Structure 1
Amino acid sequence: MKIANAQLWVHDQNAALDFYVNKIGFEVRQDITMAELGDFRWLTVGPVGQPEIAITLMAVPGEPVMAEQTREQVLELTGQGFAGTVFLTTEDVDADYAQLTARGVEFVEKPEDRPYGRDCGFRDPSGNHLRLTQLFPMG
């Protein structure tokens, strides 16, 4: 078994797509709208050069999939950053931090050394956390 996709709830698939492609630099893997399923949109993105895994940017559904009260709770928790985290690694966290900041990514934590590496954090337009880490050599 292998991991193919991980899912993040997003408030607006178009805003999420713009963020992940134009600000983070990911590529679109699939963008399929299925009319027969009420215009359900399957939208996935992933890092260039890592085709074996993608992040599904999933709109929070309403009835009949999810009760309205549950939908509102998911939207609220996502907006507060409690619905998921994506952990990214890089060879140069400070250079990527500068590049992403120049593209308009707002970081909630600047790069700093931790026991495992140099690490920083930012959030997507829906509130999901993303961590960017340059791992220290183990040994």
Structure 2
Amino acid sequence: MITKVTHVSVLVNDQDEALKFYVDTLGLEKRSDDPMPGSENQRWLTVGPKDQPDVEIILQATDWGVEPITTEERAALVGKAPGLLFQTNDIKADVEALKAKGV
């Protein structure tokens, strides 16, 4: 029986830019940043909410584990996830804070 969700992947074009956004803009913490075995440029990069250590968001490069695709196909994948929801204790204040950061 499934008891909880531990990871969800979000496809990103640039892992460093995504990390900066999720940490500096959304306030999540970096959990792991490790090279993938057998790969020169692929990383296992995860972030998560500071108060929820059992959940991680994988910032997955669009070229990780897929056949070569066109630039347009890769761009269409960015930001896609089956569903990614954040809980907040003050949505109005958080919306204003994110707007102030250009989101």
TM-score (norm 2): 0.82
For 1:85-124, what per-residue CA distance to the aligned partner results, in whole angstroms no more than 9, with x for missing partners? Answer: 411121211011111222222xxxxxxxxxxxxxxxxxxx
Counterpart of 2:77 in structure 1 is 78
Aligned residues between the structures:
100
1:6 to 2:5 alignment: no
For 1:28-59, what per-residue CA distance to the aligned partner results, in whole angstroms no more than 9, with x for missing partners? Answer: 01011236333320000011101110100001
Shift of 1:71: 7.3
Unpaired segments of 5 or more residues in structure 2?
Answer: none
Shift of 1:72: 4.9
Unpaired segments of 5 or more residues in structure 1?
Answer: 106-139
1:98 to 2:100 alignment: no
Indicate if the aligned counterparts of 1:23 and 1:104 stay in contact, CA closer than 8 A. Answer: no
1:92 aligned partner, one-letter code: D
2:49 aligned partner, one-letter code: P
Find 1:56's aligned residue among 51, 55, 58: 58
TM-score (norm 1): 0.63
Counterpart of 2:42 in structure 1 is 40
Counterpart of 2:66 in structure 1 is 66
Counterpart of 2:87 in structure 1 is 89
Larger strand fraction of residues: 1
Deviating above 3 A after TM superposition, structure 1's stretches of 4 or more consecutive aligned residues are none
Percentage identity across aligned positions?
A: 37
Q: 1:14 to 1:21 in 2, by over 3 A?
A: same
Indicate if the aligned counterparts of 1:45 and 1:54 stay in contact, CA closer than 8 A. Answer: yes
Structure 1 window deviating more from structure 2 (85-94 vs 4-13): it is: 85-94
| Higher RCO, 1 vs 2 (CA within 8 Å, ≥6 residues apart) | 2
Cα RMSD for the two superposed structures: 2.1
In structure 1, distance between residues paired with 2:24 and 2:69:
33
